[in-house]
Amino acid sequence: MKKLSRILVSVISLLILLTTVVGAATPYATYTYSSSEFVLNSPAAYVPDRIVDSNYIGLSTPLGDPRDLFVAPDQTVYIADATNNRIVCMDRYFKLQFEISKFNNEQGVPDTLSEPSGVFVNDKYIYVCDSNNNRIIMFTRDGEFHKVIPAPVSALFDEGAIYKPVACAVDEYGRLFIVSSTTYQGIIVMSEDGGFHGFIGATQVQISALEILWRNFQTKEQREYSSKYVSTEFNNISIDKDNFIYVTTSSISESAQQATIKSKDGTNAPVKKLNASGADVMRRNGFFAPHGEVKVSQSTLDPITGPSKIVDAAVGPEGTWSIIDEKRSKVYTYDKDGSLLFIFGDGGVQFGNIDSVKAIAYQGSNILLLDKGMDKKSITVYRRTEYGDLLLGALEHQNNRIYDVAIDDWTAILKHNNNYDAAYIGIGKALYRGGQYEEAMEYYRYAYETENYSLAYQEIRKEFLAKWIVPVILGIVAIFVLIGKFFGYAAKINKKAQLKVGRKSLKEEMLYPFHLIFHPFDGFWDLKHEKRGSVRSAFLILVITIASFAYQAVGTGYIFNPKDNGGLSIIMTAVSILMPLFLWCIANWCLTTLFEGEGSFKDIFVASCYALTPLPLLTIPAVLLSNVLTFNEGQIITLLSAISFVWMGALIFVGMMVTHDYSMFKSILTSIGTIVGAVFIMFLAVLFTSLLAKMVSFVSSIIVEINYRM
């Protein structure tokens, strides 16, 4: 009964503590960057100019199911109209030139298209994805039949596989890159004579370790009947002047796509840039990867939830490229580094809004959007504004290394929008290439651009080291000598304290951790049985640990902490350390009391606090290094942090084993049980807090009702 009462008292005390903390704690501020906020804060780069519908084009039969839009090098426009089994060919002013629907094939037999879904045009030919006929047909630029490219034949296709081309692109060497809606192996590469060259760009399949383990225990028959893991299919394709392929897909799961928005991992990206061998070479150097919308939760600015559904991409001037989000009817445009430049478009019935966007194409300084909505099947022409011209001019001068003019362009853009990060980065790059590194760093700071900031800082550091290399080396040697002297002094004091009878001084107790962390088994034994530590020194170590993490929040270099984590919060820093520590101590005390542990709560607390020593010991040097290291050298800081936590975990494990006089196996079991117990206590705390909040709300409602009736 005495043990159970002690456990009950400890749990109730912890619940009261956690209730206070949960009710008072305020989370850190987070840095958000949504497309909706970007649109509101930026001038329009493109504005709607006109709507091109069937009457405008001059079609006798209205557009039925337009699936693709393409602009040829001479700015003539082509639409794949699936329902009417035709390709609509227009001049640059959207007036009908001719339609491709019926033709005589190579045998001279009358033939027709059947639900064409894609079209590509170069200087010589028109390539039509005749989807339902499972073929690609080449026509001359005058619309005359040229040849049929048959379905590819290869053992790489699955048995019974269906070839259904829905989009294609052709490079300057005549190679065809084909998207087949029923093919998951990747983009089909073939020649104009039908020769199959292979697949490129297949999306990597993600299988969890648990699924792999489970399949190892399945029989052959079970594996055949279980679900197959296949790559996702692409839905559209574009090609730039350098023969790089832009492919899009909308079949990636929302959870997988959302998880890679911040990580910038291209594995589950909805748009990729592929080279000739199929490797993804897209740069993703912006704040977020080019996924379209990045703020995917519901808000007043964007009530639609979930990541974007990307259905097409188009290549623009000066390395820019755009994607369209079918879910939000928006266009997202990026530069060659993957940084977001501007966004426009929206759903609705107002002029310029898109009901259901299907395809995008550039026509000179205009952007064309294909709308296949229920009520309007048309092309919406967006005209580039003066602000858009200014932005493209800045990119042109930057790409051509005319940096003085580029700085003027970016400065003019900032007059339109002083929150435009791309302008600050552009000015920073121009200054960096001009050797003005400190000025470049200042502009990079405005845009939180840490990678380029690091490059500029690296040049300044080189100049500094070239002047002061000898004093720097001597200073480093002096630091290591002082550290060695300090550890020698600590060892001397600890050796004297070992022979001292009675209570140790605070200095002796505070120097003892430098012996304990290197000799944990003897150290924790003496800590408990020889009284080498006390509660006061344990609290002091705990305070130093909290202070070191507080210093980390405010003292970490800009490169590794550009947004300051929302500012310093001593309360949150203390809670983040005290809560897990007290959860561990109380759960361990409760568990070991029932399993013949020899340590009291005081022993557990003191040993746990002394085990925290590696954290401040390595955190403070890591913070100091963060102010002199570059972005690419950040692994050193990560390594120091990892070592400190692993070291601390090993010390806590050894400390509990020695404190309770457990065997290795029993110590492992109690450690696992302690973690489970801490989670259970947290669950009870949350449940208790929720019930308490409901009780307070109920009582307050009764009081309000009584006051109202009186």
In the prediction, which pLDDT does 503 show?
81
> So what's the pLDDT on residue 3?
44
Residue 135 has pLDDT above 90, yes or no: yes
- List Cβ neighbours of 306 (8 Å cut-off, separation of 6 or more): 254, 258, 296, 327
Q: What's the rounded mean pLDDT across residues 194-201?
A: 88
Element (H, E) at 167: strand 165-170
Residues of the chain with CATH 2.120.10.30: 42-201+233-384
Cα–Cα distance, 59 to 63 (Å, whole number): 8
Does the pLDDT of residue 531 top 60, yes or no?
yes
Q: Which range has highest mean pLDDT (280-289, 608-617, 674-683)?
A: 608-617
- Say which range, 223-232, 396-405, 558-567, has the weakest mean pLDDT: 223-232
Tokens of 133: 């006929």
| CA angle at 77 for the pair 76 and 80, rounded to the nearest 5° | 145
With bands split at pLDDT 50, 70 and 90, how would you rate the model's confidence at 14? very low
Output the six-digit token pair for 679: 């989670």
Which of 25-34, 59-68, 403-412, 472-481 comes out lowest in average pLDDT? 25-34
3-state helix, strand, coil in the chain (%, to 5): 45, 20, 35
Q: How confident is the model at residue 219 (pLDDT cuts 50, 70, 90)?
A: low
Q: Is residue 535's pLDDT more than 50?
A: yes
Could you read off the pLDDT of 546-578 as tens digits, one per residue?
999 999 888 888 899 887 654 567 888 888 899
Q: Is the pLDDT of residue 321 over 60?
A: yes
| pLDDT > 90 fraction of the chain, expressed in percent and rounded | 54
CB atoms within 10 A of CB 495: 10
Look up residue 101 and give its two tokens.
Answer: 């629907």
27-48: average pLDDT: 55
pLDDT mean over 15-31: 32
Q: Is the pLDDT of residue 228 over 50?
A: no
Per DSSP bridges, beta strands 196-200 and 236-239 are: unpaired
> Rounded to 5 degrees, what angle do the CA atoms 351, 354, 356 make?
155
Nearest in space to 353 (alpha carbons), one of 46, 48, 79 = 48
| Amino acid 269: pLDDT | 87
E-strand stretches of 39-117? 46-52, 66-71, 77-81, 86-90, 96-100, 102-104, 110-112
Beta bridge partners of 321: 315, 334
Model confidence band, residue 449 (pLDDT cutoffs 50, 70, 90): confident
CATH architecture of 42-201+233-384: 6 Propeller (2.120)
Which tokens sit at 562?
A: 């550009």
Question: pLDDT at position 168, please?
Answer: 95
| Least confident span in 23-37, 67-81, 368-382, 386-400 | 23-37
Counting other chains too, the contacts that 565-570 makes at CB distance below 8 Å and 24 or more residues apart are 565/28, 566/28, 566/29, 566/30, 567/29, 569/26, 569/28, 570/546
Overall pTM > 0.95:
no
Ranges in the chain annotated CATH 1.25.40.10: 401-454
Measured CA to CA, the distance from residue 350 to residue 648 in angstroms comes to 62
Of 36-45, 425-434, 442-451, the poorest mean pLDDT is in 36-45
Q: What pLDDT score was predicted for residue 267?
A: 80
Of 112, 77, 114, the closest CA to residue 92 belongs to 77
The mean pLDDT value of the chain amounts to 85
CATH superfamily of the 401-454 domain: Tetratricopeptide repeat domain (1.25.40.10)
607-651 tens-digit pLDDT: 999 999 999 999 999 999 999 999 889 899 999 999 999 999 999
Does 62 score more than 50 pLDDT? yes
Phi, psi of 269 (to 5 degrees): -75, 140
Amino acid at 589: W
Please check the confidence at residue 495 and state whether its pLDDT lies above 60. Answer: yes
Q: Output the pLDDT for position 573.
A: 86
Residue 94 has pLDDT above 90, yes or no: yes
Using 50, 70 and 90 to split pLDDT, how confident is the model at 681?
Answer: confident
Examine the pLDDT at 357 and tell me if it is beyond 60.
Answer: yes
